[in-house]
A and B are shown apart, each in its own frame.
Chain A
Amino acid sequence: MSTYLQFAVFGLSLGVLYAALANGLIMVYRATGIINFAMGAMAMWGGYVYAFLRKESVLYLPVGQVYFPDDPGFWLSLILALASSVLVSALVYFLAFRPVRQAPVLAQVVVSIAVMLTLQALALIRFGGDTVRVDRFLAADADAWKIGGVTIEPQTVWFTVIVVVLSALLWAYLRFTRQGMATRAAASNERAAILMGYSPSRLAAIAMILAGLIATVAVLLTAPTTGLNPVSYTLYVVPALAVMLVAKMSSIGVATGFGIALGAFQSILAYLVTQSWWPEWAASGVDQVVPLMIVMIALLAFGNKLPARGSLQTMRLPDVDIPRIRPVSATVVFVVAAALLALSQDEWRFGLTTSLIMTVLALSYVIVTGYLGQISLVQVAFAGTSGFVLSKFGQDVGIPFPIVVVVCALTAVVVGLVVALPALRIRGAQLAIVTLTAALAIERFVFNNYSLTPAEGNNIGAPQLFGLDFGIRQGPDVSRLAFSWMVLVVVAVMVLVFVRVASGDLGRAFLAVRANERAAASAGIDVRMTKMTGFALSAFFAGVAGCLIGYSHGQLSASSFTVFVGLQILAVAYLGGITSWGGAVVAGMLAPLGLVHTVIDHFWTTGNTYALVAGLLLILTAILNPSGIAGATKHQIAFVRAHRGRRQPGAVAETAAEIDANANRERTTSV
């Protein structure tokens, strides 16, 4: 028993971090209605500032740095760390969150993910990817206490007390002060708060800063135990999101208690998996599966009672133009793409081919988010599942090439149907949380599980059809034309499938569900069935992409399917235009390892520049054009046409749609 207690005590340091991050998330959500996926990344910044002040006597600002002649000491470093946290929070609020405060939920999710990716890339560039040790500063020399066989470090007690007290202060601020009340008021009805003489943006900025401060303090307390790492600290937001859901996105008390308990429980689990009776295949990633289970249970228990902010307003997404097949232009595009592949070589051909593959993956987002209106962050895990099955079993069973891809993609469909279950109950940003948690759980439990995926990766043989070899490599040629053309054909088929679905009854049913579930149901559409079908279809697309990614690497490597890759692809899919296959093509070009990535890497050698540039561009696009690049271009073309006197019926409908901003209209300009 005392062993379990001992591990529970070890877990407190992560527990207080979860509690503080969850409280920060609740604070930001109640003030702005945005789920701040960047909470961990924002808090991490202050931790790094402190660590580098103590280690190298350098004060890192987001841009530039200040050198101190010698160690500035604990207190000055602490104050500067907290000051930089205030700076980061204020910058994030005014540059990213405030501009999208009225935007659709999807734009808000994308912006907060973009902030997370940007801060993480910035931290990687500024502070490096290695774990940074941070010295203890709290009761560092005090002797440990022994109570009933359990050793308790005094610092553990101290930081638990500090975080609990800070959480209580946050709670009191929201509950009792006029400012705090007004913050809650502004969250539910911003206009009415303005009319009462409050400035919602000032209140929200204060809330963001308070959230950043409590999270930063927790990072400073936890970092000496765990060390600072840009990936793990960014992702600590996932368990914190689970805690936030359990606290019904509003209760600071529940979040504090539950966060600490979760940390303790994870630590006990970490002990259990080392036991001999624990199955080896299930040892990896259990700590991530736990948050997923918690989220699922929380949603089952009170899925309908979670406050859905702005639930009156339906999710406004960019307009959809129903696609149709134009044989001539399709052939032209196909031939041009084939010619480009033939003319390019090596890294360029590989980049172009990857872009084509990513187009299919982006199409899965177009289906599930653009058409069905569900924010899913798990699509890459579907792709990974399919690639995983291909590498593990597809080779041995001896199913011939094109069929094996379909079979593997169908396994992704099965996973997709399971993940779709919560989508029957929840929507919007909460679904984003669930799918993100699921993605991380699948990544840790399957892809990073060495008993399933050896460190050197599972090899994937070259695809062969009628004796022809479509492998990516052959001898010195590492990017064969045969492979690229095969990919092009697959992509063309998938785009055709998409266009058929999108222009058919199923596509209309998706759009109806997207616009208004109740209205769709009253029009005789089976909403549940439609959602399940949409998730299944999108998982199939992702699965096909996953197989192609596997073939293009010659093996399955977990790094192709991480949560961050998934978020980046959602980001570029959104950038490109989430409602059209043209947008998916743009997304493919912008995707990680795609053409644009190849260009950036060709000219700037540092590997993280792409992530930083992509993150910044994404924030900018989401703010300027909530409908994405492709959508914005379409609008501009329509605008120019209208003003050149060639006013067309479509252009008139455009203006009308803009006036009626609340009406979620799907136009069908070409039927």
Chain B
Amino acid sequence: MSEVLLQATGVTAGYGLVPAIQGIDLTLRAGEVVTLLGPNGAGKTTTLLALTGLLPISSGSVQALGIPVKAGRATKLSRAGTILVPDDRGVFPDLTVSEHFRLVDSRRRRERMARVLDAFPALAKLTGRRAGLLSGGEQQMLAIAKSLLAGPRILMVDEMSLGLAPIIVQEMLPGIAALAREEGFAVLLVEQHVAIALSVSDRALVLSQGRPVLEDSAAALLADPSRVETAYFGAVSA
């Protein structure tokens, strides 16, 4: 088995006094692609926020790249290589595309620049444009590209398909998965397009109402989609 990059045990977190997720267990290994599935409000985004230190964890523990995850450590975790692409895409409307790239630490940037631009040829033509003027798909590409540029060890992508045509996701996801396996970083996807996400993943975890209800290999779930469907309605299965 390859190296464990992220280990979450019994994570409970939420907003105010109400927990939005309870008892989440999750392990991410190097080169592995895992998908978080679940209906709206299941706690997928909350899970990502808790795993990256953007939301305090009320019980349970998370270790990412050897660093115990705590609220307020998001900057440190990001520098270590735990990188989240948030559902608002995390781009800066006032900055140009090339300024986004320059925000990434310079040493890692030089090595990877050519390679990332290869993966997103459309961006190479847009370097001088302000991110606010990019289309939704281009913004999403920029968000992924700048995250890849930073050389992630754990990459989390929240709802890449939000507001985008499924075709764009269909084109971008396999590339990310291939890169992850080649470079040995872990990917945690949050997706609504179950079939597309499962087709590139190794494993999937289904949440319902803040609790994990199903975990299995992506291949097994693809073979029997009805298990995912029932899990969406909260049925716990082995």
Contacts and interface: CB of A to CB of B under 8 A. Distances in A.
Interface in B66-117: 74-75, 78-79, 83-86, 88-95, 99-100, 102-106
B99 A181 contact: yes
B86 A196 contact: no
Interface residues of B, number: 31
A470 B99 CA distance: 69
A136 interface: no
Interface of A: 178, 181-182, 184-185, 187-189, 191-199, 307, 655, 658-659, 661
A197 B83 CA distance: 9
Given A182-B103, A195-B74, A195-B84, A659 B91 contact: no
B179 interface: no
B71 to A, nearest CB: 11
B194 interface: no
Contacts of A307: 94
Contact of B90 (A195, A199, A655, A659): A195
A54 to B, nearest CB: 43
A198 B18 contact: no
A178 B103 contact: yes
Contacts of A181: 95, 99, 102-103
A191 B86 contact: yes
B223 interface: no
B206 interface: no
B94 A188 contact: yes
Given A182-B103, A655-B16, A195 B92 contact: no
Interface string B11-23: 0000111100000
Contacts of B88: 189, 191-192
B150 interface: yes
B54 interface: yes
Contacts of A655: 16-18
Given A194-B78, A196-B150, A659-B15, A189 B90 contact: yes
Given A178-B103, A181-B99, A194-B74, 7 more contacts: A181-B102, A188-B92, A192-B89, A194-B54, A195-B78, A196-B90, A196-B104
11 contacts: A178-B103, A182-B103, A184-B92, A184-B94, A185-B95, A192-B90, A194-B54, A194-B75, A195-B74, A196-B90, A197-B79
Contacts of A199: 75
A307 B132 CA distance: 12
B44 interface: no
B102 to A, nearest CB: 6
A655 B103 CA distance: 39
Contacts of B104: 196
Counting from the closest, the 10 A-B pairs by CB-CB distance are: A192-B90, A197-B78, A197-B79, A185-B92, A194-B74, A188-B92, A199-B75, A658-B16, A195-B84, A659-B15
Contacts of B100: 185
Contacts of B85: 195
Given A185-B103, A195-B83, A661 B15 contact: yes
Given A184-B92, A197-B150, A191 B54 contact: yes
Contacts of B90: 189, 191-192, 195-196
